[in-house]
Amino acid sequence: MTGRAVLKAASAGAARRLVQTVVIFVVLAMATTAALVGLTLAATPTRAFQAVSTRNHTADLAVTIDATKVTSAQLTATGHLPGVTKAVGYPATTVSVTIPATPGYQGGQPVSGPLTVVGRASRSGPLDEITQKSGRWPARPGEIDQNDLSGTRGSVGQLTTISVTSLAGKPKLAIVGWASLPAQDETQNAWAVPSEITALEKAGAPRQYQMLYTFRHAATVAQVRADLGELRAALPAGAIIGGATALPSAGLEILGQGIKTSSAIPYAVMALLLAAVIIASAVAAAVMAGYRRIGVLKNIGFTPAQIAATYLAQLGVPALAGSLAGTVLGSLWALPQIQERSLFKVTVAIPVWIDIAAPAWMLTLAGLAALLPAVRAGRLPAVQAITAGQAPRAARGHAAQRLAGRLPLPRPVTAGLATPLARPARSAATLATITIGLTGAVLAVGLSSQITKIVLSIGQAYIARALFQRLTWLVVVLAAIGVFATLLMQAREKVRDLGIHKALGMTPRQVITMVSCWAIAPAIIAAAIALPTGVALEPVVARAIVSAQAGPAENAPLLPGPRGQAAGNARPPRQQPRAAPGGAVRYTRHGKTVINAGPPGSGQRPGQSLFSGPLSIAGQNPYTPGEFVLLVLAGLAIALAGALGPAIWAATTKTTTALRAE
Amino acid sequence: MNALIELSEVTKRYAAGGAPALERVTLEVAAGEAVAVMGPSGSGKSTLLNLVAGLDKPTGGAVTVAGQRVDTLSETRLARYRRRQVGMIFQFFNLLDDLTVADNVLLPAQLTGTPRRRARARCGELLGQLGIARYKDSYPGRLSGGERQRVAIARSLINDPAVLLADEPTGAVDTATGEEIGQLLLDLNAAGQTLVLVTHSPDLAARYAHRTVRLLDGRIAGDTATAGGTADTGRRPGAGARP
């Protein structure tokens, strides 16, 4: 009987306060999503940033073979090495091509360089899947499908024909499409039908093979190094002339770790903090809004324990549903969205403990946030409980109202600016959510402007930038939801006051202005906190990214890429590589060698001092005054985005109903 | 009669197909008149007041105040109409607890954009006339019911409204205080203020109104002259009225 009474009171309360119930559900869902994303990024960084070849249908290693130095039998035998699980080979060749002067690309100048073309009948192979981004796969000789590394297509999309300058007659190749691999693989610059390779070889192009391998153990660079060593031992010296790991290249794994220690963890912490603040604020407000009802229940005869149980049940059901929905949303949509486009379309299975920990933590937070005010209300005498929710907190915010009243601003604005001080705890929650969201935006702006200068690979820099942007959107959206939930609760609490204003002649637009201004003061204070915090945090994160790249020797690139720079995928001029004796590849920037990877086995390692430039850049202030202004406006935008819904509700709620509210 | 308020065949239903809160009510109130609206609970008294105040819209018929059709105005225009033409006094005062007495009274003037100096002067005048000047920096929570209602009356008068609407103005105060409030309203009407008063109290109606309109089940059941109220002196509402 007792339990039934509690459940009845709880279900009736939830049904009557439908808006509150829905808000709790949405808050828990979004907060759990954020917590799940945050925990996953922080706890499983290597997995999160590794391209898992089995999931992604890519090879672990792609090597270019000089066909004049091996026999078919030797190549076939590599497929049966102890460490190899699968091997497939394609005819290939490397030619020199010239891209004609193209407006918007490389300063509009012609660009020459090598192009490694692989002969394949289709995009789908036993070990990999090439994605056609535009156009089509080659259907006949003379056509190529260009590998769109680093999004080069955006610059040369209008290009249709290139000339093979290393062969007599300078045959032309028509670009019929742009495609991409899951991994950055610069050993395959373009694809053509196998007979095209034959034709190029007949015209004098070198005979090569492209061999793709998967291995039993290829989860780290060290393992792939060992696999490569096994291949090298099985083939004649000099047979392997180039290659790439279909794992993120060594640089990306280093970068991945750099991202983990630098950007993922700060964003993960932001997401978790936001989730905690929002839940605590929303749930506590929901309980306090029902104080009068608690008093009535006590009058009927509910004990303090039953009161607490009633509220835990009333809020617990939408909270549980929300946290479960958030777990599903985070697992199936949010996390893959963040990872997919940023990182070679990788989706990573979330560890089970995170699937349990994220909702459990959010529910625990919600439970604590509900329990404390519910227990307090349960202990109050019935009369006090009834009046506690109604009694004006006359002492709070009076000075602010008086001060605001003196400002030469319209009354709705001054009333709105002063209101937050009457509810300091709730205003602190609003302030915290906007501060955290804006800090994420400040961090992203700084890192985005520096990333191409501190990350050695342009492609990886673009990927990192995309990741910052997605993580920033996550925390910004969550912050706006936090503001929405808090202000909606506040508007419903102050509905009678809003009704009085409207009865006295405040127009709907003025009501919207007033409620929107509830969030303005916190937004301004948030900007004062978030800007210096983000500015102080940015160089820490940037230096971590740089430092992670200057790692130990085993993290150096495995293999030299193709000699020189592949045409059609050229890096900006400042990073033009130069072929060096012995097959080493040097990339220069501003005349200084940035990477100097010697031939395999040379023991040559990147010098720590080679990163002094990026480190110096990482320590510089990347922000412009204009960006600061925009970031302040961004804080206001977060606040207003969250305030708009409650403001419109306040403006449209019926005045007569509002006046009868208690 | 030069009607200030005209209700013409006004009907109000809150639910389609449900019983009307008001049904084909036709009523006129002259400028300077004091009219009491009486009736049992659910008879439509507050609904009628809300329609005149523009807080609600009729389902049918027309509501005209000071020559302006109120029932066809947009929400924004209704808000402006309420600021300028209507002063409302509620049973439970409906003061803003986080504003001082003076700020509560000034609020309607601030919404109309009245120059600050003029508004403050008018506020001081009203508080003085109503005997609550000493409370101008106090907060409503510290005042008695009668004092709060005086604040509400001052607030309702600050913009010199054409119509003063009072919904059970003595319902939340003791008898003695109710007498004081009633006398205040009488004095306001004596100064020329048009007054529509909703009350349960026949005594209040008899003493402070020229007419009593009785509502029953949403319809006018009676409209009789009473011995109460005062003649229209033509003076400005609030001017010279003393508690």
How many Å from the N-terminal Cα to the C-terminal Cα in chain B? Answer: 30
Where does A204-257 show beta strands of DSSP type E?
A: 208-215, 240-245
- Chain B, window 60-89: residues with a beta carbon less than 8 angstroms from a chain A beta carbon: 75-76, 79-84, 88
- Is B101 within 8 Å of chain A by CB? no
CA distance B154 to B137: 14
Residue A331: partners with Cβ closer than 8 Å, 6 or more residues away: A36, A350, A355
CA distance A458 to A443: 20
CA distance B127 to B151: 8
| Angle A74-A76-A80 from CA coordinates, rounded to 5° | 105
- Chain A, window 413-442: residues with a beta carbon less than 8 angstroms from a chain B beta carbon: 419, 422
Partner-chain contact A505 B103, CB within 8 Å = no
Q: Give the helix/strand (H/E) hosting A499.
A: helix A495-504
Domain residue spans of chain A: 1-50+248-391, 55-247, 393-556+612-662
One-letter amino acid at B127 equals: L
Q: Which of B86, B98, B137, B168 to mutate to test the interface with A (most CBs of A within 10 A)?
A: B98
Structure tokens belonging to residue A601? 């086995």
For residue A361, give how far its alpha carbon lies from the nearest alpha carbon of chain B (Å): 38
Partner-chain contact A398 B139, CB within 8 Å = yes
In 3D space, the residue among A87, A132, A117, A124 whose CA is nearest the CA of residue A194 turns out to be A117
For residue B209, give how far its alpha carbon lies from the nearest alpha carbon of chain A (Å): 24
In 3D space, the residue among B157, B155, B161 whose CA is nearest the CA of residue B106 turns out to be B155
For residue B104, give how far its alpha carbon lies from the nearest alpha carbon of chain A (Å): 10
CA distance A412 to A180: 56
CA distance A206 to A235: 19
CA distance A429 to A274: 9
**β-strands A577-579, A585-589 pairing:** antiparallel
Task: Compare all CA atoms of chain B with the CA of A418 and give the residue at the minimum distance.
Answer: B98
Place of tokens 């003037």: B109
A16 secondary structure, DSSP code: H
CA distance B226 to A196: 110
Partner-chain contact B155 A504, CB within 8 Å = yes
Q: Please tell me whether residue A87 adopts helix, strand or coil conformation.
A: strand
A611 secondary structure, DSSP code: G
CA distance B24 to A240: 98
Within 8 A of B103 by CB-CB distance, chain A residues are: 401-402, 405
Q: What is the pLDDT of residue A131?
A: 86
CA distance A469 to A440: 9
Domain B3-225, CATH 3.40.50.300 — does that match?
yes
- Is B90 within 8 Å of chain A by CB? yes
Within 8 A of B114 by CB-CB distance, chain A residues are: none
For residue B177, give how far its alpha carbon lies from the nearest alpha carbon of chain A (Å): 23
User: Between helices A625-652 and A424-454, what is the axis angle to 10°?
Assistant: 140
Within 8 A of B82 by CB-CB distance, chain A residues are: 503-505
CA distance B189 to B204: 14
For residue A636, give how far its alpha carbon lies from the nearest alpha carbon of chain B (Å): 25
Residue A82: partners with Cβ closer than 8 Å, 6 or more residues away: A230
CB-nearest to B75 from A392, A396, A508 is A508
In 3D space, the residue among A207, A203, A204, A177 whose CA is nearest the CA of residue A192 turns out to be A177
CB-nearest to A659 from B94, B103, B111 is B94
Per-residue pLDDT in tens (0 to 9) along chain B, 243 residues = 579 999 999 999 988 888 899 999 999 999 999 999 999 988 999 999 999 999 999 999 999 999 999 999 998 899 999 989 999 999 889 998 888 999 999 999 988 889 999 999 999 999 999 999 999 999 998 999 999 999 999 999 999 999 999 999 988 888 888 888 888 998 999 999 999 999 888 888 888 898 999 999 999 999 998 876 554 434 333 333 333
Residue ranges of alpha helices (H) inside chain B are: 45-53, 75-85, 101-112, 116-129, 145-157, 175-190, 202-208
Partner-chain contact A507 B100, CB within 8 Å = no
Contact A478, A31 (CB under 8 A): yes
For residue A280, give how far its alpha carbon lies from the nearest alpha carbon of chain B (Å): 26
Q: What is the pLDDT of residue A78?
A: 94
- Is A398 within 8 Å of chain B by CB? yes
For residue B32, give how far its alpha carbon lies from the nearest alpha carbon of chain A (Å): 22
Partner-chain contact A401 B50, CB within 8 Å = no
Within 8 A of A409 by CB-CB distance, chain B residues are: none
DSSP secondary structure string, A176-204?
EEEEE-SS--TT-SEEE-HHHHHHHHHTT
Structure tokens belonging to residue A114? 């090598």
- Is A656 within 8 Å of chain B by CB? yes
CA distance B83 to A412: 14
Phi, psi of B192 (to 5 degrees): 110, 0
CA distance A355 to A40: 9
For residue B83, give how far its alpha carbon lies from the nearest alpha carbon of chain A (Å): 5
Where does A229-309 show beta strands of DSSP type E?
A: 240-245
Order the strands of the B60-65 sheet from edge to edge: B22-30, B3-12, B60-65, B68-69
Within 8 A of B76 by CB-CB distance, chain A residues are: 507-509
- Is A104 within 8 Å of chain B by CB? no
Those residues of chain A that have pLDDT short of 70 are: 1-2, 16, 41-58, 104-107, 149-159, 182-186, 219-221, 244-264, 299-300, 334-350, 380-396, 456-460, 463, 548-613, 662
This prediction has a pTM of 0.67
A&B contacts, CB < 8 Å: 75
Contact A264, A470 (CB under 8 A): no
One-letter amino acid at A164 equals: V
Structure tokens belonging to residue A619? 């320590």
**Cα B25 from chain centroid?**
19
